[in-house]
Amino acid sequence: MLRTKDILDEKDKRLRMVSEEVVFPLTKQDRAQIKKMVAYLRDSQIEDRAEKYDLRPGMGMAAIQLGIPKRYITIVNEVDYEEETGKHTFETFIVVNPKIISTSEEMIYVEAGEGCLSVNREVEGIVPRYARCTIEGYDMDGNKIRIRAREEVSIAFQHEIDHLNGILFVDKIDKKNPFKNQEKYRAI
């Protein structure tokens, strides 16, 4: 089981590496790692599990955040919660060798501020992101997939693909003017 302490901190130079393309078939280790990444993200969004295992809530993770310089990412987004039954429903994305192939013109940003499992501090400022994007890549078995992402999920894909290129969200915030051009983008 992954823990928050297993995730590299922004000070770790490995986060600045450009990750390598994955060659299929995936190794047993990569398959096991992807399952752990998905389990961490799912559990981190369920309050009692996050507390029990001391997990920092997250929606996405790139392999490089675990020190693995390979191009695969996972995104887990809670889409429903039934209070009566306590049942959580998630949409889960696993993309190997992801590429953004198209984007919207509209730009958005996370009003509460973007966060990252590798950045263990409060960061003020906005990170302009595309409101919609289309991603191509492969599933775990090497089948080509295409995903059209919107809003929060679009932001998550852009954020995680940045990780694969050695970029952290803090790099995209203007240091001198953290809220620069805020009026040009839509807050979500």
Residues recognised as catalytic: 160
Three-state SS string over 1-58 comes to CCCHHHCCCCCCHHHHCCCECCCCCCCHHHHHHHHHHHHHHHHHCCHHHHHHHCCCCC
3 state SS of 80: strand
Q: Are 65 and 8 in contact (CB under 8 A)?
A: yes
Q: What is the largest CA-CA distance in the chain?
A: 48
Of 130, 134, 127, 55, the closest CA to residue 102 belongs to: 134
